[in-house]
Amino acid sequence: MGGHRLIIEERNPEIHEVDSFIEVVQTILHGLGTDFPPFVIHKVRVECLAQPNGASDSIDLLAGRMTNVVEKIDAFERPPLFFGMRFRFPPKSMMESGGDEEDEDDEDDEENEGQSGDVEIREVKEADEAEGAEKDEKGVASDEASVELRFETYNKDVSQVWMAVSAVYIGPLSAQDVQGIGENIRATYKFLAEKAKKFLDQFDYPTEEGSEE
């Protein structure tokens, strides 16, 4: 409130489990006490690296397969060292009502802003997938968030794809609503680990032997 904000950040976690981070956040929130003002906006950001299996590197995957602009880049008379794309998704209810989403400030435009290091998303277990399918029928927290998704060349290793998702949840949200805040974090993580990964995997097919792209 009043221009102040609380930032809880974990870089290069040793344990790549979202629940362990949620526990840290909930512990901090409990320590704030009941007099702490509510959050007007709750923003969750998750980053990771993905290693292509079929594509030769991130340029091949993003520029060659996902967007198919490699040949069109010849107009610049040099190949790019960095390539990326961005999606912005409005809340589902806004799509149903036909409303327009206003552009937010581009706070995350720095190249590979969080420097994800060697953090990679884990494979979602079958039990998690079943739980996710059940929640999708009811709707999840990220359905009503404004979500920005980015795929970029990782600036420290061109072979890898840097992925980041930022989700903005509109409050007010009490600092003591640790369950709701935790669910926002978990839903954002799953948006990246499940939906974004599934989207990326569509283009990461093996190259047929003897063929050229």
Q: Is residue 15 part of a domain?
A: no
Q: Is residue 206 part of a domain?
A: no
Helix (H) or strand (E) holding 164: strand 157-173
Q: What is the pLDDT of residue 165?
A: 97
Q: Is residue 180 part of a domain?
A: yes
Q: Is residue 109 part of a domain?
A: no
Which of 93-102, 131-140, 164-173, 185-194 bottoms out in mean pLDDT, i.e. has the lowest?
131-140
Give the three-class secondary structure for 53: coil
Query: Which tops the pLDDT comparison, 142 or 212?
Result: 142
pTM: 0.77
Sheet of strand 84-89, all strands in order from the earlier edge strand to the far edge? 39-50, 157-173, 146-154, 84-89
Q: Is residue 88 part of a domain?
A: yes
Angle (CA) 38 39 45, round 5°: 155
Per-residue pLDDT, averaged over 119-143, amounts to 53
Long-range CB contacts for residues 98-101, cutoff 8 Å, separation at least 24: 101/146
Please determine, for residue 120, whether its predicted confidence score (pLDDT) is greater than 80: no
Q: Is residue 21 part of a domain?
A: no
Q: Is residue 92 part of a domain?
A: yes
Q: Is residue 6 part of a domain?
A: no
Number of domains in the chain: 1
Per-residue pLDDT, averaged over 141-163, amounts to 94
Which residues have a Cβ under 8 Å from the Cβ of 91 and sit 6 or more positions away?
A: 101, 143, 144, 145, 146
User: Where residue 138 falls among pLDDT bands split at 50, 70, 90?
Assistant: low
Domain that holds residue 192: 36-100+115-122+133-201
27-40 residues labelled b (16+ CB within 10 A) or e (exposed): eebeeeeeeeeebe
68-112 residue pLDDT tens: 888 888 888 888 888 999 999 999 988 776 655 455 455 556 666
